[in-house]
Structure formats: C-alpha cells, structure tokens
Copies of this chain bind each other. A is one copy, B any other.
C-alpha cells in the first residue's frame, strides 16, 4: 500500500488512465498501454463499447459524442481484459465487479450527484436480530432534518435484487443522493429509507464478511423466509427510530428479486404497506413456478407462494394508495410482467404500469426510484 505522505500527498495525481468531461459533455477517455494490440472503452451502463485509437507511443484515446446528463459506468478493455481506471476516485460495485463511474451534469445526472449546497441525510449500517436469533445488517437513510425536532417520519423499505445486498441501493442505486436531492428540491416528502439484506444465505454484504449461512440455494431463494420474517425488520425500525407506525406511512419497493419480495410481503401482510413499488420485478407466482419446474411433483411449495391469488384479493380489497410497476421493453422479465398485468386487470386491481425503454439495469432502477419516490406519502 502506498503511504499517505504528510505534506506531499495530493488528490490530483496525474495518471496514465484518465477521463475528461468537456463543456459540450463529450468525454475523452485515455489509457496508456504500450504492449496492447487493442484497447476499448466499455461504457457498460449505456451499452457503448468502442475501440480506442493509439498515438504511436502507447497512449490510447477515445472521445464520445455529447452525452445526455446521466450516471455512466465504464471500464477499459485491454486486449479484452477488464482494466479499470485505477486512479479513478469514483467506483461502484455490482456483485463482484467494480466499475468506474462519472456523472454528466445539468439534467438527470444532478439527482445522482452529491451537492454541497444540499442538506445531507445520514446513512447508518445497523444490525437487527431476527426471530430465530440471527444478527443481520441493513442500511438506513435518515433525512437531514431527522433528530433535529420531535418529528416522526414515514418509511420506505427499499429492496435490492439477486446478487445485491444491503449496500446495493447506496452504492449502485445512489439512493442517498436521490433522496437528498428530491427532498431539497421539494419533489418528495422527507422519509426514512430502510435497505435490508434480502439474501437469506448472507447476514451482511460479502464485502463485510464472506461467511455464508448454511442453507441450500433453493431453500433461501424460494423458501419465502425473507418475506415471512419481514415484520422483524419493520419492528426493529419502529422500535428504534422516530416513525409513523401505520400503513399510510409505510411503503415497500424493490428491483428484480426485491420486486418479488415486495410483491409477496405486501400481499402476505396486507395491513403493512399502503404503497408498493415493483421495479423490473420477478414474481415467481404459481404459474411461473410450474412453467419453470421449480417445484417438481411432490415438492412442497411454501405457503406464501401458494396463496398469492387469495392474498392479492385481500390486499386490493382493503385498498392501497399506490401499486406501481415499471419494466423495460428489453427486460428478460418483460413477458412475465405482462402476464402479471393481465392478472391485475382481469381482477380489476387498481395499479399503475410503466413500460419504459431499456432492460434489466441499474440505469433503469435509478430512474424508477426517481419516478416512484415523489408519489409517496402525499
């Protein structure tokens, strides 16, 4: 490890790898690799992958077109091998891949950027105890005003997808920045955001520790245990934070697997949540299970999944403030979502369905959070 040399350290190190955002929002990427035969820039968030050109001295360069305001993740590919911008201060992790990122300002990207003039919420990594005695970690966002008055707040429970963990919405999802910016602009109510770990074979992010809980893969993904035990999380939050502990002031939303969690938790506990957000959700309803042969003859399907249609009737019968779904046209879960929409329409269950561009990506999930949060607790 390089030492932090007192008085000599600088944050402006000149690097062989670099990116520069011009005033016209064209980005120049540069990478120094003497012996490479091909260097590419891979802006994975936006499906841009281009060969860079060499100057004869091993310096590879690529300049993009003018890019719309957004958050872009990127890496270099040196003869096909991922080579991050090692000097890039800004990195985010997706499962076990680390990417550099940059934000193009003056538009949507501003919601994803921390702003020095904006009041900042607090992020906490706390541990709660489950009914069966496990200690599990979650992230909690508290709005800037929290604790400064006697106020209590509504709560959004925000769930990650398969492969994510309790850090995913903070790191990849920019939830802290999105909440701070929406609240500062007056576009959303102040609220607490709770981001638990939805993988029952983990107690915390694998960056925190590697030890896995000994449960079979099948058991944990499809056992319904995370959904069934969700009241442990709600109880911890309502015991330890200043919340408004009623249905009108609770929302649940999640992406992909977190969407299926949100859907099943909200129908199984129909008195808990008045707002439900499903971002590119999987459903794993009975029909889907049968199609996928996830429960071959003789195997026992968890009760929470067997009762979906009965419980949805109860959930919608009691009334909801908002049942909100978004899916990209190119998402591999598109068809499953159309089937679920058919079910909701057939039964007359009031909902909003947003068909967007794009696929099963964080680019979409950040946008969905931006769309969904302003609708809560109005």
The answer to whether A124 has its CB under 8 Å from any CB of chain B is yes
Taking a contact as CB atoms under 8 Å apart, the answer to whether B114 and A86 are in contact is: no
Chain A residues 144-180 with CB under 8 Å of chain B are 144, 147, 161-164, 172
Assembled-state Cα–Cα distance A221/B7 (Å):
8
> A355 near B: Cβ within 8 Å?
no
Q: Is the CB of B4 within 8 A of A114?
A: no
A34 to B38, CA, bound (A): 12
Interface SS of chain A: loop
B6 touches A333 (CB 8 A): yes
Name the B residues within 8 Å of A73 (CB-CB): 1
Q: Which residue of B lies closest to A9 (CB)?
A: B163
Given contact pairs A35-B37, A37-B35, A163-B11, A360 touches B123 in the complex (Cβ within 8 A): no
Encoded as 1 (CB less than 8 Å from any B CB) or 0, chain A from 76 to 108 comes to 001101111011111101111111000000000
- Known contacts A86-B97, A96-B11; decide if A4 and B135 are in contact (CB<8 Å): no
Q: Is the CB of A33 within 8 A of B206?
A: no
CB of A226 to closest CB in B, whole Å = 14
- Structural contact, B3 and A360, CB atoms closer than 8 A: yes
Which of B4, B96, B147 touches A161 (beta carbons < 8 Å)?
B4
Closest to A213 in B: B116
Asked whether, in the complex, the Cβ of A1 is within 8 Å of the Cβ of B86, the reply is no
Q: In the assembled complex, which residues on chain B have CB atoms less than 8 Å from the CB atom of A98?
A: 84, 86, 91, 98
- The reply on A350 being an interface residue by CB < 8 A is no
**A365 nearest CB across to chain B (Å):** 10
**Could you tell me the distance in whole angstroms from the C-beta of A218 to the nearest C-beta in chain B?**
11
Neighbouring B residues of A7 by C-beta, 8 Å: 162, 221, 282
Contacts of A97 in B (CB 8 A): 1-2, 86-87
Query: Which residues A24-59 have CB closer than 8 A to chain B?
Result: 32-37, 44-45
Give chain A's interface residues, CB within 8 Å of chain B. 1-7, 9-11, 13, 16, 32-37, 44-45, 73, 75, 78-79, 81-84, 86-91, 93-99, 113-116, 119-120, 122-127, 135, 137, 144, 147, 161-164, 172, 203-204, 206-211, 221, 240, 256-257, 282, 332-333, 359-363
Interchain Cβ contacts under 8 Å between A and B, 26 examples: A1-B73, A1-B97, A1-B363, A2-B44, A2-B94, A3-B361, A4-B164, A4-B360, A5-B332, A6-B333, A6-B360, A7-B162, A7-B221, A7-B282, A11-B96, A16-B81, A32-B81, A33-B79, A75-B86, A84-B84, A86-B97, A89-B93, A114-B204, A120-B127, A123-B125, A127-B144
Known: A33-B79, A84-B86. 17 other contacts (CB 8 A): A4-B161, A6-B257, A6-B360, A10-B163, A11-B206, A35-B37, A83-B83, A87-B97, A89-B93, A89-B96, A91-B93, A113-B209, A120-B127, A120-B137, A122-B124, A122-B127, A123-B125
